[in-house]
Amino acid sequence: MIFDAAATPLAGEKSRGTNLLGVRAYNERLVLSLVRRFGHLPKAEIARMTSLSAQTASVIVRSLEADGLLLRMEPSRGRVGQPSVPLKLNPDGAYALGLHIGRRTAHLMLMDFVGSVRDQIRCSYAYPDVGEILTFTTKGLNELTSKLSGAQQQRIAGLGVAVPFELWNWCSEVGAPDAALEAWRNCNLQTDLETLSGLPVSISNDATSACGAELTFGKGREHEDFLYFFIGYFAGGGIVLNGSLYPGRQGNAGALGSMPVLVRNRKTGVLEKRQLIHSASLHSLEQRLIAANIDPVAFFKSQAWDGLGSILDDWLEEASDALAQAIVASVSVLDFSRVIIDGGFPAEIRQRLVALVREKARASDLQGLSPFEIDEGSIGATARAMGAASLPFFSRFLLDQNVLFKGDA
């Protein structure tokens, strides 16, 4: 995808083109992050929350307005003195592209500065092939960006990518030829994508990206700490502490799919120790579909969950039991007061799953644990691609939530 370097910039931006998509100064990032979190703020409130002088806050706000990142709203009247003018993010101030590479599907989206999905495309496959994914991404980037004007293309901040780490380690579960997955070990995905897109590329684990989307755009904005599960082809998750994603010492915190749980063998009735991914995952559901002679690729493409009957009921029962065990174990280590569960399935399936998890968690031995709530996620299957698309915004314009919570004090 080649962007026209000679595309006409927005009015008044000729001398600020580099600054527009460059890394913003700390105080500019702070202002943008606060406005994003609260929806809109007047200059006086921005100055108060940032501890900046009124003059400095005005200079920063004028600069962000001139760069097209902030918009003035209608004045708020009804108070003594001059009416205040709230400021909000300009949806067209910046754009980002988000790519989710899954084990059965790929998803590419164009997102604006306030987190609204402007356009998106998907593809399904039997297994992820490096060449096919790069071809899909090349065509998809051209399709999504061709609908933007030249000036809008100049405002694309980058491409974020959500992908399972060490994709090559799951040959038997994915059902792919060894060589196809080994190719992922040998490719430099970031370099390849930067070459074909001409954009800066940021890469994150897919479940971590989903957690970041919930934190940035979903219910996570309401909580400083929570445990997050995303039920994709494999179960994964994330940990949020003090309003920020907690990566862990080696960047692997929240690898909840690896947590051991006890699951009853459907054939023998004997309890067996397994990892969470083998029970609370769409891979587990896929195995049930195959046993029932249902094409899983066609099923996940159609999302026709209504007709599964006992197949779905049995999967929900096993998945909810395993999730309840994982939640109780996690809460005993870090006393989370909130657990959020989301996944790559329709909202009504998420609702059924969460209701069962609540029921099983309440029936567990909770002696010595602080009370906790289990909530549905608010984004769904697009969470991984949305989280990916948010990466360029945080890289160039925003601060993480940790700074914002401190700013509220």
Per-residue pLDDT for the chain (409 aa), expressed as one digit of tens each? 333 323 323 333 333 334 555 667 899 999 999 999 899 999 999 999 999 999 999 999 999 999 999 999 988 766 655 678 999 999 999 999 999 999 888 999 999 999 999 999 999 888 889 999 999 999 999 999 999 999 999 999 999 999 988 777 765 566 678 888 889 888 999 999 999 999 999 999 899 999 999 998 999 888 989 999 999 999 999 999 988 888 888 778 889 999 999 998 878 888 899 999 999 999 999 999 999 999 887 787 777 787 889 999 999 999 999 999 999 999 999 999 999 999 999 999 999 999 999 999 999 999 999 999 999 999 999 999 999 999 999 999 988 655 444 444 3
Could you tell me if 200 and 158 are in contact, meaning their C-beta atoms sit under 8 angstroms apart?
yes
The pLDDT score that the predictor gives to residue 24 is 75
Q: Which residues contact 334 (CB under 8 A, 6 or more apart)?
A: 225, 227, 239, 241
The pLDDT score that the predictor gives to residue 338 is 97
- Rounded CA-CA distance 183/180 in Å is 5
* First-to-final CA distance of the chain: 45
The pLDDT score that the predictor gives to residue 247 is 82
The pLDDT score that the predictor gives to residue 49 is 94
Residue 214 sits at the vertex; the CA angle it makes with 382 and 371, to the nearest 5 degrees, is 135
Q: Which residues contact 1 (CB under 8 A, 6 or more apart)?
A: 138, 141, 142, 145, 196, 197, 198
- Rounded CA-CA distance 31/36 in Å is 9
pTM: 0.86
Q: Which residues contact 81 (CB under 8 A, 6 or more apart)?
A: none
Q: Take residue 168 and report the two structure tokens written for it.
A: 């090559």
Could you tell me if 43 and 60 are in contact, meaning their C-beta atoms sit under 8 angstroms apart?
no
Could you tell me if 120 and 388 are in contact, meaning their C-beta atoms sit under 8 angstroms apart?
no
Give me the torsion for CA of 194, 199, 205, 209, rounded to 10°.
-170
The pLDDT score that the predictor gives to residue 15 is 34
- DSSP code of residue 15: G
